[in-house]
């Protein structure tokens, strides 16, 4: 099966292949980039793909603190199992490959990781437990560790790359680079918080929703790093969904790159947390904006719920509904499908209290359709790239905002022939 917009870019030993789609309409015109200090970025074409870089190795100048969040899937990949078992919050190097997820590969998958982490540990004179790993790509294929091992030598570690290069090297069906760089000043010290991510399909919140790596250029202990992640993940990476499918490989890592030493009092912590939140929002929004086949984004804002969990459950029910997503793809303001999606959560709500808006247009209130709404205004609104759905439950004071996207023919094309 061949598709008009498919690019045969990634080839595998069993003729497995990815199809990269045409670039997302939400792709940024410019990418933020930098040469990091405190660590070096190396990217290679190791052979997981026919062309383009597919291997990333980051080597820190010294051992750094790290905190991680992983997918809550019951079918975690070998890298997640390996990281959780071996790493204790200290990192000397990070290895990420794209093209092979090393998931559902049994004991062999773990042994393969042991082989290439041991090779890098020997090269760096560190413990293999100080090396973190991630993989993304096709599930169920054994990863050839020799593809990574043969790149671990002095001749390959001579060309330091930039942040954008790191982001490109871990692509699968992504169509644009996802980087974010923010600066803050604390005690006359300029501190950068920055990162990169990949993600396009199989995106649903259960923690990390993709692969993302974020760096803070100051010394922070692991306990505080974990706190920073936990405090900022819910309204960022845990508030997006492309297709409601949770990956086997979702990983988010936050590194303390100790270029600066500051006193982490409440004021300074809050400054760092606020800026980290911007980085995480930026990266997570870029992921949802690059959803497979995306043409329109959906923002669902549930207001005045009894609890945060109720608000988020209803918001995701709406944004993940295939009927809602296809209606938006077809520019049809079918608010009845929103009603359906609210109801299927089985949350305790009162129909006659709910109001539903598309943009600032009130479509339903008091348990029935708003007969006074201007239909031509609705038709014009549905042509927008970002469709905002507001649901007011009028039950309490909690709210939740989540982002999703439309479901169209392009998504089906990409995933019908993801590997063949």
**Could you give the residue numbers annotated as active site?**
209
Strands of 105-209 (E only): list them. Answer: 131-138, 178-186, 189-198
How many helices (H) and strands (E) the chain has is answered by 11, 16
Are the C-beta atoms of 250 and 206 separated by less than 8 Å? yes
Q: 274: closest CA among 315, 222, 235?
A: 235
Phi and psi of 299, rounded to 5°? -110, 120
The 3-state DSSP class for residue 76 equals coil
Give the list of residues 6+ apart from residue 383 with CB closer than 8 angstroms, or none: 331
Phi and psi of 100, rounded to 5°? -145, 120
Give the list of residues 6+ apart from residue 27 with CB closer than 8 angstroms, or none: 175, 176, 289, 290
Rounded to whole angstroms, the Cα distance separating 355 from 391 reads 6
Strands of 31-73 (E only): list them. Answer: 39-44, 55-70
Rounded to whole angstroms, the Cα distance separating 224 from 108 reads 35
- Both ends of the chain: CA-CA distance in Å? 8
To which residue do tokens 């023919």 refer?
A: 409
Are the C-beta atoms of 92 and 58 separated by less than 8 Å? no
Neighbours of 409 (CB within 10 A): 11
Rounded to whole angstroms, the Cα distance separating 178 from 170 reads 11
Residue 234, both tokens = 């819910």
Neighbours of 416 (CB within 10 A): 11
């Amino acid at each position: 099966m061949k598709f008009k917009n498919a690019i045969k870019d990634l080839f595998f030993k069993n003729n497995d292949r990815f199809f990269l789609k045409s670039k997302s309409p939400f792709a940024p015109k410019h990418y933020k980039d930098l040469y990091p200090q405190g660590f070096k970025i190396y990217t290679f074409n190791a052979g997981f793909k026919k062309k383009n870089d597919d291997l990333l190795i980051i080597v820190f100048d010294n051992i750094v603190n790290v905190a991680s969040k992983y997918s809550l899937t019951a079918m975690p990949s070998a890298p997640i199992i390996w990281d959780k078992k071996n790493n204790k919050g200290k990192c000397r190097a990070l290895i990420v490959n794209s093209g092979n997820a090393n998931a559902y590969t049994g004991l062999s998958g773990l042994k393969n990781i042991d082989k290439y982490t041991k090779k890098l540990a020997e090269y760096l004179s560190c413990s293999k437990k100080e090396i973190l790993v991630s993989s993304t790509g096709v599930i169920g294929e054994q990863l050839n560790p020799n593809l990574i091992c043969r790149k671990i030598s002095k001749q390959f570690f001579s060309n330091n790359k930039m942040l954008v290069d790191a982001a490109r090297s871990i692509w699968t069906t992504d169509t644009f680079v996802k980087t974010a760089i923010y600066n803050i000043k604390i005690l006359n010290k300029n501190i950068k918080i920055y990162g990169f991510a990949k993600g396009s399909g199989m995106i649903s919140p259960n923690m990390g929703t993709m692969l993302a790596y974020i760096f803070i250029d100051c010394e922070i202990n692991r306990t505080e790093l974990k706190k920073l992640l936990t405090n900022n993940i819910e309204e960022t990476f845990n508030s997006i969904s492309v297709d409601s499918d949770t990956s086997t490989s979702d990983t988010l890592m936050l590194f303390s790159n100790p270029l600066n030493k500051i006193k982490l009092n409440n004021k300074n912590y809050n400054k760092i947390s606020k800026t980290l939140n911007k980085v995480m929002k930026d990266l997570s929004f870029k992921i949802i904006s690059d959803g497979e086949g995306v043409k329109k984004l959906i923002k669902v804002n549930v207001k005045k719920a009894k609890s945060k969990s109720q608000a988020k459950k209803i918001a995701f029910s709406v944004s993940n509904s295939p009927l809602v997503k296809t209606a938006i793809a077809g520019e049809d303001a079918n608010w009845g499908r929103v009603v359906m999606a609210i109801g299927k959560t089985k949350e305790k709500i009162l129909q006659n209290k709910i109001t539903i808006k598309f943009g600032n247009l009130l479509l339903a209130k008091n348990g029935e359709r708003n007969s006074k709404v201007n239909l031509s205004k609705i038709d014009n609104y549905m042509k927008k790239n970002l469709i905002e759905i507001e649901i007011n439950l009028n039950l309490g004071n909690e709210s939740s905002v989540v982002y999703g996207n439309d479901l169209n023919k392009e998504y089906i094309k990409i995933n019908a022939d993801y590997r063949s």
